[in-house]
A = this chain, B = another copy of it.
Amino acid sequence: MRTNRLEAFSDGVLAIVITIMVLEIKVPHDTQPLALMPLIPVFLSYLLSFLYIGLYWNNHHHMLHTLERVDGPILMANLHLLFWLSLVPFATGWMGQNPRATAPAALYGLVLLMAALAYYILQSRIIAAQGSGSLLRQAVGRDWKGHASLGLYMVALPASLRAPVIAQAIYALVALWWLAPDPRIEKVLRDPR
């Protein structure tokens, strides 16, 4: 099976996930500018999740770019990743409506952690399928950015039980860190040596 239909399906799911989150920003009944004030945390959590889904889409795209054929386990690992990402709108809605509560901040981190683990599993599965000389392995190297993100989520989880704002700051920092362009895969693809 070629990768293009897997890409198309993943693109579809991610495009819907990123867009239905906006349905959580409920239109206020009031028409005063101040009516938007309580929506600010909802908006900020939407922005954060938009970034995350956009980054996943971007990295997912780069990763599949190194692949020519898809086997059953890769399909399942991809579905597993999409499952956790599909829970992002729920976690976003709960955290956005309760920005200072501990449980929503922890759940948001848990969903991010599970999605990151699912991404890691998919990546490992692709590297294994490519065998020695895997283009993706060369691109990813020791993948310390991926490992560090997993570690940061694991720090954020207990932190959220103490102070949600610390966990939320960690979530934002990880997103900003990934926003910085990652030249690894592009470099290897250009000059695979």
Contacts and interface: CB of A to CB of B under 8 A. Distances in A.
Interface of A: 1, 5, 7-9, 11-20, 22-25, 27-28, 31-33, 35-36, 47, 50, 54, 57-58, 61-62, 65, 71-73, 75-76, 79, 82-83, 86-87, 89-90, 93-94, 97-98, 101-104, 106-107, 179, 181-183, 186
Given A20-B20, A27-B97, 18 more contacts: A1-B61, A5-B11, A9-B11, A9-B15, A12-B14, A13-B18, A15-B16, A16-B19, A19-B86, A22-B86, A22-B87, A23-B89, A24-B27, A28-B94, A31-B101, A31-B102, A47-B83, A58-B75
Contacts of A73: 181
A15 B18 contact: no
Contacts of A12: 11-12, 14-16
- Minimum-distance CB pairs A-B, first 4: A12-B15, A31-B101, A72-B181, A27-B93
A18 B12 CA distance: 10
- Complex copy number for this chain: 4
Given A47-B83, A103-B33, A179 B76 contact: yes
Nearest to A97: B27
A1 B65 contact: yes
Nearest to A89: B22
A86 to B, nearest CB: 5
Contacts of A19: 13, 16-17, 20, 86
B90 A9 contact: no
A68 B174 CA distance: 31
A87 B35 CA distance: 16
A96 to B, nearest CB: 9
A38 B181 CA distance: 41
Contacts of A23: 20, 23, 89
